[in-house]
Amino acid sequence: MAQARGLYDGVPGMRLVTRVSRGPKPTVYWCDRQGVTGRIALTEATAEERMTWYTEGPEGPEPLWRWLNQVGLPFQPHSWNNVFSAANRRCRAVLDPEPERRLDPHRSRAPYATPHSCRHSFALYMLVILHHLMDQRFGLSPEERRDYRLLYGDPWRMVQDLLGHAFLETTRDRYLAPVADLQLRSLLTTAPPFPRRGAADAGDG
């Protein structure tokens, strides 16, 4: 839509990516509208720089930025806070009666979400699922769990990489207690019920 409307024709600072090198440290090569060329290591490029990267598509320039706004232009990272704030207001308008909307937001019946809470939920979900895969309830012996770790990696290190934490201790410090709590709840939920005392005594006789 944005391309058809010509919105990309006047994008300031547009850089057409001409090549991305392969290997452990990819380098992005680009050329701007004035013909000036440059390059930068992919890991060193800021969000602002990445938003200027485009590729030459069949119908003209196309943004390489994954997140686009409603008109098709690169979406500012901080704008996600506004998206979540608007969604929270809509939820509260529907789920909280008018007199209650002026109360402490912690007493609201509407959910309250932020980009960070989504990141936190994702990490917690991944950790619990990965640990469950290594649980003996799925028939994994200690040797098989060791082989699983060698093949797929330790769950904590996998989530550390996904979150971008520099140190494994950061991941453990933030998520060890919630994961332990969820695993305990899961065990209590799936555990067989305790026999009633009368039934147990009758069996002993």
**71-75, 79-83, 143-147, 172-176: least confident range:** 143-147
Can you give the three-state secondary structure of 2-29, one letter per residue?
A: CCCCCCCCCCCCCEEEEEECCCCCCEEE
Q: Which residue would you say has higher pLDDT here, 123 or 148?
A: 123
Is the model's pLDDT at 167 over the cut of 90? no
Identify the band that residue 44 occupies on the pLDDT scale cut at 50, 70 and 90. Answer: very high
Higher pLDDT, 21 or 141: 21
When pLDDT is cut at 50, 70 and 90, the band that residue 31 belongs to is very high
CA distances from 198 to 192, 193, 203 (A): 17, 14, 9
Quick check: pTM over 0.85? Answer: no
Poorest-pLDDT segment among 14-18, 117-121, 171-175, 180-184: 180-184
